[in-house]
Amino acid sequence: METVTLLCRGVKLVLPIKEIESFTDQAWFLKLLVQYEDDGKPIELCEDINIVLSIIETLKYHKLILYNSISLEHMYMLCDKWCVPEWILEEITSRIESYSKTETEKIKNEKIYKCSVCYTGYKHSENTSTSCKRHLYSMDTHANIFACCNNQEPCINGYHIGKG
């Protein structure tokens, strides 16, 4: 069986040439590559192995398959560059859209906690080191001033602190 050896940033990937040719009728990058580079030497791709494998498996099973921890945007760019069939680009686009929709939904539906320092409602995802504006000391009700700074404006920032 004739094979081609690809090097993805130094990681070796050996594939049967027949298999690469059988994925699609379309003239995409790897298919053209094995047609023209037939000296049997390893071919350096300088691409992430997980993205290359994702593209190969996707073509093999006619279904979008994503390897661990790959970036969809990165995969899209490589698919575009490699001229893979259009349906793969469409699948990736709709996957990116549905992911960002879930993320927005998640933030929208997030529980609101009440800060025990400033008594403002806040969401965990939006709580930063400058969210909670407060005074170091509580108000001296008798003198109606904040003993820490003598100002009405809060003098320190920090994270909101929830109960429990």
Distances (CA, A) of 13 to 20, 43, 60, 95, 161: 13, 10, 16, 27, 51
Contact 22, 56 (CB under 8 A): no
- What's the longest Cα–Cα distance across the chain? 91
Asked if 117 interacts with Zn ion (CB under 5 A), we say: yes
Asked if 149 interacts with Zn ion (CB under 5 A), we say: yes
- Nearer of residues 33 and 148 to Zn ion, judged by Cβ: 148
Residues 86-115 that bind Zn ion (CB under 5 A): 115
Q: How far is the CB of 124 from Zn ion (least distance, A)?
A: 13
- Nearer of residues 56 and 132 to Zn ion, judged by Cβ: 132
Q: How far is the CB of 28 from Zn ion (least distance, A)?
A: 55
Asked if 155 interacts with Zn ion (CB under 5 A), we say: yes
Beta bridge partners of 158: 132
Asked if 160 interacts with Zn ion (CB under 5 A), we say: yes
- How far apart are alpha carbons 24 and 138 in whole angstroms? 71
Contact 29, 83 (CB under 8 A): yes
Total residues interacting with Zn ion, rule: CB under 5 A: 10
Asked if 148 interacts with Zn ion (CB under 5 A), we say: yes
Distances (CA, A) of 106 to 92, 98, 129: 21, 12, 22
- Nearer of residues 29 and 113 to Zn ion, judged by Cβ: 113
Residues that bind Zn ion (CB under 5 A): 115, 117-118, 132, 135, 146, 148-149, 155, 160
